[in-house]
Amino acid sequence: MIAAGNPEPPQPFSPTAHQTLRDLAVHAGSGVTIVCGFPAAGKTTATRLLAELVDPVVLDKDTFAPRLEESVMAELNGNPHDRDSDLYRRVISPHLYAALVQQAVTIARRCPVVVDAPFLGYITAAAEQELRLSDYIRTIAGGDAAIRTAWVDTDTTRLRERMALRAAERDRPKLADWHTYRANVLDSGLAHTGPRVTDYRVTN
């Protein structure tokens, strides 16, 4: 069961990536599976492929509460599509992710859930506390739901190409100042930290 939203064109995955997703599906029939990574890394495609194998409820950050994000950011700084500023990370992101995780854990009491979201802030926090991402999320969500995590990985050239292809409003600031975005986010160390704190690495 996949939540409605604006579909992105599926991106081809390697045989190795498909095999990793099949391995992940063996354990994703219950609890919460987090599919994380940089924007445009291929999370949505990975989630769709996993959903075909498991038939979970899918929660996608991009469709979870977009109007709330847009209206608050428009009020705060006049840019409804800002997802990268310190203001967004401080005021919106922590509460949005907390709600997303809590919703996932609640639904997982009844059926499997896959969450499609970057989780970059959580990854940084988990690494700083020397925790696995799954353990860090469990400390926030509470309860005893099984949680597993997968980092979707690709190179920066493909990230930029995919952003340009999907033409999402939220990507325009990144593409307009790619050098800064690459320096502050893509080359910030997260490309190494993500695979280190997650349970699976899906390379495409």
pLDDT tens for residues 126-157? 999 999 999 999 998 887 889 999 999 999 99
Predicted local confidence at residue 6, as pLDDT = 47
Predicted local confidence at residue 3, as pLDDT = 47
pLDDT at 5 over 90: no
| Residue 195 is assigned to a structural domain of this protein | yes
pLDDT digits (tens, 9 = 90+) for 93-127: 999 999 999 999 999 999 999 999 999 999 999 99
pLDDT at 28 over 90: yes
Maximum separation of any 2 CA atoms in the chain, in Å = 45
| Residue 22 is assigned to a structural domain of this protein | no
Q: How many domains does the chain have?
A: 1
CATH number at residue 129: 3.40.50.300
CB 47 within 8 A of CB 60: yes
The percent of residues above 70 in pLDDT, for the chain, comes to 94
Predicted local confidence at residue 142, as pLDDT = 82
Average pLDDT of the residues of the chain = 92
The percent of residues above 90 in pLDDT, for the chain, comes to 86
Q: For residue 14, what pLDDT band results from cuts at 50, 70 and 90? A: confident
CB 28 within 8 A of CB 112: yes
Domain that holds residue 182: 28-199
What do you get for the CA distance between the two ends of the chain, in Å? 24
Exposure of 102 by Cβ count < 10 A (0-12 exposed, 13-18 middle, 19+ buried)?
middle
| Residue 10 is assigned to a structural domain of this protein | no
CB 153 within 8 A of CB 195: yes
With a CB cutoff of 8 Å and minimum separation 6, the contacts of 150 are 20, 24, 33, 34, 35, 36, 46, 198, 199, 200, 201, 202
| Residue 36 is assigned to a structural domain of this protein | yes
pTM above 0.85, yes or no: yes
Q: For residue 185, what pLDDT band results from cuts at 50, 70 and 90? A: very high
The two three-digit tokens of residue 154, written as one number: 């690709």
| Residue 155 is assigned to a structural domain of this protein | yes
pLDDT at 50 over 60: yes
Predicted local confidence at residue 4, as pLDDT = 41
| Residue 89 is assigned to a structural domain of this protein | yes
CA atoms in the 13 A half-sphere facing the CB of 51: 20
| Residue 81 is assigned to a structural domain of this protein | yes
Predicted local confidence at residue 8, as pLDDT = 52
| Residue 113 is assigned to a structural domain of this protein | yes
Q: In what order do the strands lie in the sheet with 147-153?
A: 57-60, 113-116, 32-36, 147-153, 200-203
Spatial distance between the Cα atoms of 129 and 102, rounded to a whole number of angstroms: 21
